[in-house]
Amino acid sequence: MNAPLIWIGLPLALAGVLLLIRNARLVSILGSTAAIILTGLAWFLPLDTVITLGSYAFKVAPSFSILGRSLTVGAGDQGILALFYGMAAMWFFGALATPNGRPIVSLGMAVIALLVASLAVEPFLYAALLIEIALLLCVPMLVPFDSPPQRGVLRFLIHQTLAMPFILFSGWMLAGVEASPGDLNLVIQAGALLGLGFAFLLAVFPLYAWIPQISEESHPYAAAFILFIFPMTALLFLMGFIDRFAWLRANPNLPGILTSAGLLMVVSGGLWAAFQRDLGRMMGYGAVIETGLALLAIGQYQAAGVSIFALLIVPRGLGMATWSLSLSRLKSEAGSLRFSAVQGMLRAYPSAAVGVALSHLSLLGMPLLAGFPPRLALWEALARQSAVSAGWYAIGMVGLLIGLIRTLAVLSMAPDNTPWRWQDTWLQRVLIGFGLLGMLTFGLFPQTLQPLLARLPLVFEFLGR
Partner 1 sequence: MLLDILSWASVGLILVTSVALLISQSWQRSLLFLSLQYLGMFWLVSLHWPMTMAAVKLVTGWIAAAALGMSQPQSDQPTSKEDAWPQGRLFRLLAAGLVVLVVIASVPTVTDWLPSLHTLETLGSLLLLSMGLLHLSVTARPFRTILGLLTVLAGFETLYAAVENSIMVAAMLAVINLGLAMVGAYLLSTPPREEASE
Judged by CB under 8 A, which stretch of 54-62, 147-155, 258-266, 378-386 contacts partner 1? 147-155
CB of 7 to partner 1, least distance (A): 19
Judged by CB under 8 A, which stretch of 28-36, 127-135, 269-277, 456-464 contacts partner 1? 127-135
Q: Which is nearer to partner 1, 115 or 308 (CB)?
A: 115
User: Does 384 contact partner 1 by CB under 8 A?
Assistant: no
Q: Which is nearer to partner 1, 336 or 385 (CB)?
A: 336
Cis? peptide before 103, omega within 30° of 0: no
CA 216, 217, 223, 226 torsion-angle sign: negative
Q: How far is CA 419 from CA 333, 346, 414, in A?
A: 17, 11, 9
- Out of 23, 33, 161, 340, which residue is the one contacting partner 1 (CB under 8 A)? 161
CB of 347 to partner 1, least distance (A): 29
Question: Which residues partner with 51 through β-bridges?
Answer: 58
For residue 310, count CB atoms less than 10 angstroms from its CB and return exposed for 0-12, middle for 13-18, buried for 19 or more: buried
User: Does 334 contact partner 1 by CB under 8 A?
Assistant: no
The C-alpha atoms of residue 380 and residue 1 are separated, in whole angstroms, by 46
CB of 273 to partner 1, least distance (A): 20
User: Does 422 contact partner 1 by CB under 8 A?
Assistant: no
Torsion angle of C-alpha atoms 14, 17, 22, 24, degrees rounded to 10: 0
User: Does 277 contact partner 1 by CB under 8 A?
Assistant: no
User: Does 297 contact partner 1 by CB under 8 A?
Assistant: no
Q: Which is nearer to partner 1, 4 or 435 (CB)?
A: 4
Q: What are phi and psi of 22, to 5 degrees?
A: -85, -30
Candidates 129, 132, 300, 309; CA nearest to 235 is: 309
User: Does 76 contact partner 1 by CB under 8 A?
Assistant: no
CB of 317 to partner 1, least distance (A): 26
- Out of 63, 189, 251, 412, which residue is the one contacting partner 1 (CB under 8 A)? 189
Angle at which helices 305-334 and 350-364 cross, to 10° = 150
User: Does 246 contact partner 1 by CB under 8 A?
Assistant: no
CB of 135 to partner 1, least distance (A): 9
- Out of 1, 50, 53, 67, which residue is the one contacting partner 1 (CB under 8 A)? 67
Q: What are phi and psi of 19, to 5 degrees?
A: -65, -25
Q: Which is nearer to partner 1, 171 or 403 (CB)?
A: 171
The C-alpha atoms of residue 196 and residue 453 are separated, in whole angstroms, by 30
Q: Which is nearer to partner 1, 104 or 436 (CB)?
A: 104
Q: How far is CA 442 from CA 97, 353, 434, 438, in A?
A: 23, 21, 12, 6
User: Does 414 contact partner 1 by CB under 8 A?
Assistant: no
**Pairing between β-strand 121-122 and β-strand 50-53 as defined by DSSP bridges:** unpaired
Judged by CB under 8 A, which stretch of 55-63, 148-156, 235-243, 373-381 contacts partner 1? 148-156
Torsion angle of C-alpha atoms 204, 206, 209, 210, degrees rounded to 10: -40
CB of 241 to partner 1, least distance (A): 18
Q: Which is nearer to partner 1, 14 or 153 (CB)?
A: 153
User: Does 448 contact partner 1 by CB under 8 A?
Assistant: no
Total binding residues for partner 1 by CB under 8 A?
33
CA 269, 274, 277, 280 torsion-angle sign: positive
Task: Tell me if residue 41 falls in helix, strand or coil.
Answer: helix
The per-residue DSSP string of 46-80 comes to PSSSEEEETTEEEE-BSEEEETTEEEE--GGGHHH
Judged by CB under 8 A, which stretch of 153-161, 313-321, 365-373, 418-426 contacts partner 1? 153-161
Site for partner 1, rule CB under 8 A: 66-69, 126, 129-130, 132-133, 136-137, 139-140, 143, 145-151, 153-154, 157-158, 161-162, 164-165, 168-169, 172, 189
